[in-house]
Amino acid sequence: MTTVTSDQAANAPRSLTVPLDRFYQYQLSERGLSAHTQRNYQRQLDKIVDFLTARGIAHWQDVDADWVRQISSQAKRDGLKPGSIALRLSALRSFFDYLVLTEQLAANPAKGVAAPKQGRQLPKNLDVDEMNQLLEVDQDDPLSVRDRAMMELMYGAGLRLAELVDLNVRDVSVRKGDLRVTGKGEKERIVPFSGMAKTWVMNWLKVRNQLLKGPEEALFISKLGQRISHRSVQKRMAEWGQKQAVNSHINPHKLRHSFATHMLESSGDLRAVQELLGHADLSTTQIYTHLDFQHLAKVYDSAHPRARSTGARKPGAGKKTNSES
């Protein structure tokens, strides 16, 4: 069990729930995490509090590494997948870091507890023909124009769902062909967009006023004239996938993954794709290098000078004669 000094004991929270609100506020204001991430952490920590309370644990100072392992084991028994268990442990680890930072704990008991291994799940993407089929929306009512603009921009610029929803009109420079995007951790990046994405954003801006009910800075708005929600974007894209008779289920992440895959296949420039996607770590982008091994193998076979066999070696080939030595 973690040893706590007398000063830290005096500052110790009186129950498991007392410091959580302050932690959530710290996550938002100090660390710059998104409200979505904060809600995920809150759900995980609520489950952990229920688990510990049911077992008579009333103070975070009573939670040691053994308890953390029990939390992980119980999550597995509850049927959670490795990724969900990792998220739960990540939330707990971050919370304990906060308690250490605020001198309510001497050490983080979750630091040495590993999450279960996860199988590497490759992102799913549409091929170019499927993407063209999805984007051939020929209806010209404001909602259809908006939806095509959203899909063209998500595929044309590789945006995350939250980045698309958070875009304001002032973030878009149609003349220069770039977007100011706020990504994870409130990090801004400038992303180019052109071609059909630019055309349909301009088409949308021409009809956007038809849905406005008052002042609204959001680029994409609902029929109520307010910033469109994450759920509405997901629902509309799924509906368009059905209307356009695309064989696979359509969701915003699939458009982003398709952008990354097609860009990498065409350019082979991993660093550039990393910048466009807003990945902090290159290893996150590298997952796309595993998506289409057959495609990569064909490129290798056609490009590498020694990839193709030229037949069996003749006897003595490659051996130096005395005169050559």
Active site residue 256: yes
Distance CA 282, CA 249 (A): 28
**Closest among 19, 37, 18 to 28, alpha carbons compared:** 37
Name the residue with tokens 């507890």: 113
User: Which of these is catalytic: 124, 184, 227, 230?
Assistant: 184
Give the type of residue at 177: G
Pairing of strands 188-192, 172-173: unpaired
Active site residue 304: no
User: Which of these is catalytic: 81, 180, 230, 253?
Assistant: 253
User: Which of these is catalytic: 24, 26, 41, 288?
Assistant: 288
User: Which of these is catalytic: 81, 160, 180, 227?
Assistant: 160
Distance CA 70, CA 78 (A): 12
Active site residue 288: yes
Contact in structure between 178 and 191 (CB atoms under 8 Å): yes
Contact in structure between 105 and 4 (CB atoms under 8 Å): yes
Measured CA to CA in angstroms, residue 164 lies from 12, 38, 159, 207, 249 at distances of 42, 19, 6, 18, 20
Distance CA 27, CA 23 (A): 6
Distance CA 228, CA 218 (A): 8
In the chain the beta strands, taken as DSSP E runs, fall at: 172-173, 178-182, 188-192
Active site residue 160: yes
Count of residues in the chain = 325
Tokens of 269: 């420039």
DSSP sequence for 78-103: TT--HHHHHHHHHHHHHHHHHHHHTT
Active site residue 290: no
Distance CA 244, CA 134 (A): 6
User: Which of these is catalytic: 208, 236, 254, 256?
Assistant: 256
Active site residue 253: yes
Phi then psi dihedrals of residue 225, to 5 deg: 85, 10
- Any idea which residues carry the catalytic annotation? 160, 184, 253, 256, 279, 288
